[in-house]
Amino acid sequence: MAVRENSSPSCLYDAVVVGAGIQGSFTAYHLAKRGQKTLLLEQFPLPHTRGSSHGQSRIIRSAYPQDYYVAMMKRAYQLWAELEAEAGTPLQRPTPMLVLGRQQNPEFQSYWQTMQRLDIPHETFTPQALAQKYPEIRPHGGEMAVADLTAGVLYPDKALKAVQEQFRRSGGTVRDGEKVLAILPGSAVTITTNRGEYRAKRLVVTAGPWSSRLLDPLGVQLPLQPLRIHVYYWRAKDSGTRSHVEHLPCFLGINLNQDAHHIYGLPTDEYPGLVKICYHHGSPVEPDRPDQLDRASTVPDLQILQGFVRNYLPGLDPEPAVQEHCLYTNTPDEDFILDRHPRFNNIVIGAGFSGHGFKFAPVVGEILCQLSLGEEPPYNLAHFRISRFPASPKAAL
Ligand SMILES: Cc1cc2nc3c(=O)[nH]c(=O)nc-3n(C[C@H](O)[C@H](O)[C@H](O)COP(=O)(O)OP(=O)(O)OC[C@H]3O[C@@H](n4cnc5c(N)ncnc54)[C@H](O)[C@@H]3O)c2cc1C
Ligand SMILES: O=C(O)[C@@H]1CCCC=N1
């Protein structure tokens, strides 16, 4: 195997980041801005559609039931604006997001109370006010809404391109089509790829659905579950009502009709006249074989969504017009993993973004950069620690 660029001390990298999805790309961007000689490795030729960060729309919002996410979003909005200024292009479009639910529902209450307590600009809609403002939406049984007025639609493909470009401008190197096969810990970490070998003072692993492949041999078994998520786009029944589709806000339905489901939607630019509505859960899958689903554990997402469309958005055709897919990597509590390796503190892990990580990527990248530089990020990271999971037997090293 060829040894690349590590035959002299000057070719030792300050940092190597594995995985050029949105989290790894922002981590590399911050490291390079901090003057670190940084290499970003990606297994597939870029851009690609095989992980979690591709596509043309994601929701950005401040509204979360948990204060710690709201605090991180404050910083994320600042950093998104910085990247937009550097790139000279908008990376999001402001669009309010309705949290829909029953007033008595504890999760709905948490969203609402957090918005009030933390002064997130918001507007509350009684069922009557909701019907007036958004007649396309038909809530049931007294369901109401609170709108996060800071929300919007992010443009993921553009964002990924912009952050990687700015990383390169800061002196960083991206090598795509280069898969990391092995990691050997040490004061300088040795990284073996299908093309060669590198050494780095610090390593950040942001490998999305493939994270366990790299981390298990390093003795950290994380409860990460890759899920296949179907992305559905729906059209108005009557083409004359197309403007109704475009008028819809982003929305997040909490246990609507007293079902256990979370369903979300957003107006998008990628298919003019269609609205994207998805089920926030998917079927377990191997990331290299996303088409092989185990029937026994496949979630009936389409039936659930069709029921929702018929009941809540009767102006839409209940047959989806377009179907795509993407991968989530879930933790059991759906909180992220942002931590140092328990034994090797120059190896940092960012994983388990559980289908809601895109909006946080600028601040996640900053946190992973700070952790890898031995700094303590100014957030409560207790919810993101590896130690929150029950200990599992360690692999031999
Ligand atoms: C359908 C869908 C809708 C979503 N909606 C929202 C939303 O509205 N708002 C929101 O905030 N978030 C949303 N998310 C979540 C968000 O997109 C993800 O949290 C985020 O993209 C995760 O990024 P990542 O960098 O961790 O993973 P990825 O994008 O998967 O990146 C990991 C990268 O690592 C590379 N890699 C893996 N192993 C190796 C290796 N051995 N060597 C080299 N490279 C390697 C992979 O090829 C990949 O490119 C959604 C996700 C999906 C799928
Ligand atoms: O993160 C988001 O905002 C979206 C909507 C809720 C479910 C997952 N992604």
Tell which one of 64, 157, 213, 353 to mutate to probe ligand 1, the residue whose CB is within 8 A of the most ligand atoms.
Answer: 353
pLDDT at position 256: 92
264 lines ligand 2 (CB under 6 A): yes
CA dist 315 → 98, 137, 147, 278 (Å) = 18, 9, 22, 17
Model ipTM value: 0.99
65 lines ligand 1 (CB under 6 A): no
Answer CATH for 12-53+157-223+333-388 from 3.20.10.10, 3.40.50.300, 3.90.1300.10, 3.50.50.60? 3.50.50.60
* pLDDT per residue rounded down to tens, the chain (397 residues): 444 444 444 379 999 999 999 999 999 999 999 999 999 999 999 999 999 999 999 999 999 999 999 999 999 999 999 999 999 999 999 999 999 999 999 999 999 999 999 999 999 999 999 999 999 999 999 999 999 999 999 999 999 999 999 999 999 999 999 999 999 999 999 999 999 999 999 999 999 999 999 999 999 999 999 999 999 999 999 876 656 677 899 999 999 988 888 999 999 999 999 999 999 999 999 999 988 888 788 889 999 999 999 999 999 999 999 999 999 999 999 999 999 999 999 999 999 999 999 999 999 999 999 999 999 999 999 999 999 999 754 543 4
**Residue whose pair of structure tokens reads 């996303």 in the numeric block:** 290
CA dist 14 → 129, 349, 350 (Å) = 56, 16, 18
99 lines ligand 2 (CB under 6 A): no
CATH superfamily of 96-150+225-330: D-Amino Acid Oxidase, subunit A, domain 2 (3.30.9.10)
Angle at Cα 4 formed by Cα 21 and Cα 23, nearest 5°?
A: 10
Q: What is the pTM of this model?
A: 0.96
Ligand with smallest separation from the Cα of 229: 1
Q: How far apart are CA 130 and CA 117, in angstroms?
A: 23
Distance of CA 62 to the CA centre of its chain: 14
344 phi/psi in degrees, rounded to 5? -115, 100
Antiparallel, parallel or unpaired: β 262-267 and 250-254? antiparallel
42 lines ligand 1 (CB under 6 A): yes
Give me the residues paired with residue 16 across strands.
39, 203
**Residue whose pair of structure tokens reads 């969203």 in the numeric block:** 111
Domain with CATH 3.50.50.60 in the chain: 12-53+157-223+333-388
Q: How far apart are CA 90 and CA 331, in angstroms?
A: 32
Region of 334 (left: φ > 0; alpha: ψ -120 to 50; beta: rest) is left
Domain with CATH 3.30.9.10 in the chain: 96-150+225-330
| Cα(236) to centroid(ligand 1), Å | 30
336 phi/psi in degrees, rounded to 5? -70, 170
326 lines ligand 1 (CB under 6 A): yes
